[in-house]
């Protein structure tokens, strides 16, 4: 039986975004505060996903052995390091979140049956790498607060209450929405980036967070004058708002995840093909490999 196990690890390290082949002015124009010397630090959290058959002891791998491999090959070398100098790979490619994830894969792949590397630079920024050459995924998370009412204008109040329950009450109700936006793209071999992170964040802020925050969605967002602002419909609308801006920065919008409450969330993908690939479990992906 195939099974996937995950091992968590962490390390603290600093890095600097700086290309010596361009001027100081251009470095600061491209990387902003991340170009400042001597760099800045993060508490990185790493998840290593591994696939295999269950053995007679009910294990895919001995986690004590996995822990030692990750420590030997990754965390002991990166913890309390300046990443730009820690590994030779970062002399060629800047140590961005996505580039670090890819390099960790390359370091661990000879020793462990890995199927995914997920690296959190901070709780609001992380990268996923699946071993597909230079392709990686980058996610930012953010939030906005808004009110909505779930009711179709063509139905009676009684019918809306039958369908939507308390959510159909006339004055609406509010949520602190948590939004995750994932993009996909090729890692630039020099900058280490899928896309300019500052521009990515600005697109999400400009097209979603600022227009949606502290609004009554049904009245303040024209799209929802006729479309019921369920979490699903909000996510679909956010996808349509962001697809072109994300293409403009040289990446592809992969997924929108909207968490309406701790109990309710939804995900929509850029295309049906993306959804089909992503919904396939890591276990199934491992079987294909």
Structure-token match 């994932």, residue found: 182
Quick check: 146 and 238 in contact, CB under 8 A? no
Span 46-50, mean pLDDT?
Answer: 98
CA distance 116 to 105: 8
Average pLDDT score over the chain? 94
- The predicted pLDDT at position 282 comes to 45
Active site residues: 167, 214, 260
Q: For the domain with range 132-277, which CATH number is right: 3.20.20.210, 3.40.30.10, 3.30.2350.10, 3.30.479.10?
A: 3.30.479.10
- From 257, 289, 288, 254, select the one nearest 271 (Cα to Cα): 254
Structure-token match 């000879």, residue found: 110
Structure-token match 């010596």, residue found: 20
pLDDT digits over 193-239, tens only? 999 999 999 999 999 999 999 999 999 999 999 999 999 999 999 99
Q: Where are the domains of the chain?
A: 1-131, 132-277
248's tokens: 């403009």
- The predicted pLDDT at position 106 comes to 98
Confidence of residue 148 (pLDDT cuts 50, 70, 90): very high
Supply the pTM of this predicted model: 0.91
Do 132-277 and 1-131 have the same topology in CATH?
yes
Quick check: 179 and 258 in contact, CB under 8 A? yes
Task: Please determine, looking at this structure, whether the domain spanning 1-131 carries the CATH number 3.30.365.10.
Answer: no
Confidence of residue 286 (pLDDT cuts 50, 70, 90): very low
């Amino acid at each position: 039986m195939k099974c996937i196990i995950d091992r968590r690890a962490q390390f603290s390290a600093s890095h600097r975004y700086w290309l010596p082949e361009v001027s100081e002015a251009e470095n600061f124009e491209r990387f902003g505060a991340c170009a400042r010397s001597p760099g800045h630090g993060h508490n990185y959290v790493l998840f290593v996903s591994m696939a295999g058959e269950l053995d007679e002891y009910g294990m895919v791998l001995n986690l004590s052995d996995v822990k030692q491999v990750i420590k030997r090959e990754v965390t002991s070398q990166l913890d309390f390091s300046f990443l730009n100098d820690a590994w030779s790979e970062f002399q060629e490619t800047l140590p961005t979140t996505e580039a670090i994830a890819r390099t960790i894969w390359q370091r661990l792949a000879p020793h462990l049956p890995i199927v995914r590397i997920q690296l959190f630079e901070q709780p609001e920024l992380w990268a996923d790498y699946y071993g597909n050459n230079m392709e990686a995924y980058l996610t930012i998370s953010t939030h906005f607060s808004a009110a909505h009412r779930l009711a179709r204008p063509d139905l009676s109040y009684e019918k809306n209450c039958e369908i939507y329950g308390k959510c159909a009450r006339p004055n609406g109700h509010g949520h602190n929405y948590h939004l995750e936006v994932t993009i996909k793209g090729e890692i630039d071999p020099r900058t280490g980036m899928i896309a300019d992170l500052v521009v990515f964040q600005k697109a999400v802020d400009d097209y979603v967070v600022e227009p949606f925050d502290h609004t009554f969605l049904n009245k303040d967002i024209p799209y929802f004058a006729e479309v019921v602002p369920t979490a699903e419909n909000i996510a679909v609308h956010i996808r349509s708002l962001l697809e072109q801006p994300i293409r403009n920065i040289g990446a592809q919008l992969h997924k929108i995840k909207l968490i309406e409450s701790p109990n309710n969330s939804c995900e929509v993908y850029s295309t049906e093909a993306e959804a089909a690939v992503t919904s396939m479990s890591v276990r199934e992906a491992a079987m294909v490999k």
